[in-house]
DNA sequence: CCTACCGATCGGTAGG
DNA sequence: CCTACCGATCGGTAGG
């Protein structure tokens, strides 16, 4: 599934990574289908056929973007959870980590592509992505279970998790970096909304 | 902005409406850019050039889908709110109306296109859509304000509304008609989640 | 990674 | 609404 690549010399500029980054931005802004290989090539100062030296197909580029986005969010949220604390402290740290990856300057195009363009993957790749997503969301289900045991929420069902994911992932649609609200404030606000009864 | 059309004879099959319906399904399933005029034509048993008898451009088809989706959801939610009752009764009726339009067999492709493909509109059309959306969401802001006055929620800010919209609109991503949960149950569950403290 | 290119497909149109 | 078509563009490739 992963595209092949040459071993990378120590100080060689990583053109492949540049392509992935440019692709993430273009896929996020214009959509996968409306983005052409020529768009991507131009964004990294290549000729139109050259990206195919790094990737076999356009679908492989999408897969690279989507898997990197998924891996980054998973890593950040898992690390936040691993720092420990009360269920609410863990939950708040996870909220912040998730939103930072979604909304930060350097990662938001990966996240947006992940959330909106994943369905353009071929069946086998889509299955792989969904497996990663299920693993990721299981972390959240566990966090909700711990919150319930601690009496912080009344319902830790699957639907509650899906509402939470919706509220979080929808921020991509409306958050603006200079909108006067920090990511930390947004994370705090959803925490208050869900846990208000026992704050 | 709206595409022109002939006056419609009483029992003449409305081919234009058939095109819009087929387009909504294809745009929702494959995305605007990946859907071809030939796909749409085939879905309504026309030749590839014939849809252009009804619409000047592919963008006009998208606009028709998106405006019809927006109008339908607005109409249903406004009617629900107009039935009156306590702030919570009004809110619950609005939740159900919104989710029914989003998830029901006959409207979900319009809603999905509205939520995911709107950004492919040209600037003027996009602006028109955003104006409709703002009007619609103002209804929800008012409902939240009434809930707060009645003591049902603690925070009726803009961000609360956006979290709510996210939780609701995200259902499109995971709801399956035969998933064992009815739309009514889902509406009830999000109402309980938000208003739990004062249930 | 560039040059030069190919076959396929696309949105859209003229004329009936 | 169909027939027949056009110019533009697309993903991808061979050869260097």
CA of B32 to C1' of D1 (A): 24
CB contact set of A93 (below 8 Å; sequence gap of 6+): A80, A81, A83, A85
The tens digit of pLDDT for each residue in B141-188 reads 999 999 999 999 999 999 999 999 999 999 999 999 988 899 999 999
Does B167 contact A164 at a Cβ distance shorter than 8 Å?
A: yes
- Nucleotide nearest A33, CA–C1', reads D10
CB B48 within 7 Å, strand D:
yes
- With respect to residue A65, please indicate whether it lies within any of the assigned structural domains: yes
Q: Could you report the average pLDDT of every consecutive run of 10 residues in chain A (199 residues)?
A: 45 84 98 98 97 98 98 98 97 98 95 98 97 98 98 96 98 93 97 76
Does B174 contact A162 at a Cβ distance shorter than 8 Å?
A: yes
Does A159 contact B189 at a Cβ distance shorter than 8 Å?
A: yes
Nearest residue to A117 (alpha-carbon basis) of A19, A32, A20, A2: A32
Chain B nearest-CA residue for A198: B197
pLDDT value at residue A118: 97
Residue nearest to nucleotide C14 (CA to C1'): B49
pTM of the prediction? 0.93
pLDDT value at residue A5: 42
Using a 10 angstrom Cβ sphere, with 0-12 exposed, 13-18 middle and 19 or more buried, the burial of residue B85 is: exposed
With tokens 């850019």, the residue in question is B33
Residue nearest to nucleotide D2 (CA to C1'): B47
- With respect to residue A112, please indicate whether it lies within any of the assigned structural domains: yes
Nearest residue to B170 (alpha-carbon basis) of A145, A105, A29, A137: A137
**What is the rounded CA–CA span in Å between residue A122 and residue A56?**
14
- Residues belonging to chain A with any Cβ–Cβ distance to chain B shorter than 8 Å: 31-34, 116, 119-120, 154-155, 157, 159-160, 162-171, 173-174, 181, 186, 189-190, 192-194, 196-197
Q: How many domains does chain A have?
A: 1
pLDDT value at residue A179: 84
- With respect to residue B145, please indicate whether it lies within any of the assigned structural domains: yes
Q: At B197, is the pLDDT very low, low, confident or very high (cuts 50, 70, 90)?
A: low
pLDDT value at residue A70: 98
pLDDT value at residue A20: 98
- With respect to residue A40, please indicate whether it lies within any of the assigned structural domains: no
The tens digit of pLDDT for each residue in A99-110 reads 999 999 989 999
The tens digit of pLDDT for each residue in B118-149 reads 999 999 999 999 999 999 999 999 999 999 99
- For residue B107, count other CB atoms closer than 10 A to its CB: 19
Q: Are B165 and B149 in contact (CB under 8 A)?
A: no
C-alpha B107 chain-centroid distance: 7
Identify the CATH number of the domain in which residue A74 sits: 1.10.357.10
- With respect to residue A32, please indicate whether it lies within any of the assigned structural domains: no
Q: How far does the CA of residue A33 sit from the closest CA of chain B (Å)?
A: 6
- With respect to residue A98, please indicate whether it lies within any of the assigned structural domains: yes
H-helix segments, chain B: 15-30, 37-43, 51-54, 58-82, 87-103, 108-117, 123-149, 158-169, 171-174, 183-195
- What's the domain range around A184? 58-198
- With respect to residue B52, please indicate whether it lies within any of the assigned structural domains: no
CB A175 within 7 Å, strand D:
no
| Residue A130 in tokens | 């969904």
| Residue A62 in tokens | 């999408």
């Amino acid at each position: 599934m992963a595209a092949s690549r040459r071993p990378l010399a120590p100080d060689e500029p990583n053109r492949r990574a540049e392509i992935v980054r440019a692709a993430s931005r273009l896929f996020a802004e214009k959509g996968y289908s409306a983005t052409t290989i020529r768009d991507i090539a131009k964004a990294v100062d290549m000729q139109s056929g050259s990206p195919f030296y790094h990737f076999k197909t356009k679908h492989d580029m999408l897969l690279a973007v989507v898997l990197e986005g998924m891996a980054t969010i998973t890593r950040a949220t898992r690390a936040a959870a691993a720092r420990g604390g009360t269920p609410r402290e863990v939950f708040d740290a996870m909220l912040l980590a998730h939103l930072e990856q979604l909304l930060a300057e350097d990662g938001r195009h990966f996240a947006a592509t992940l959330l909106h363009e994943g369905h353009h993957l071929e069946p086998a790749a889509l299955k792989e992505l969904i497996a990663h997503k299920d693993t990721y969301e299981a972390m959240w289900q566990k966090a909700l279970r711990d919150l319930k045991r601690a009496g912080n929420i009344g319902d830790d069902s699957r639907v509650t998790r899906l509402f939470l994911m919706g509220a979080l992932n929808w921020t991509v649609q409306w958050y603006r970096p200079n909108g006067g609200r920090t990511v930390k404030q947004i994370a705090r606000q959803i925490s208050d909304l869900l846990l208000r009864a026992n704050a």
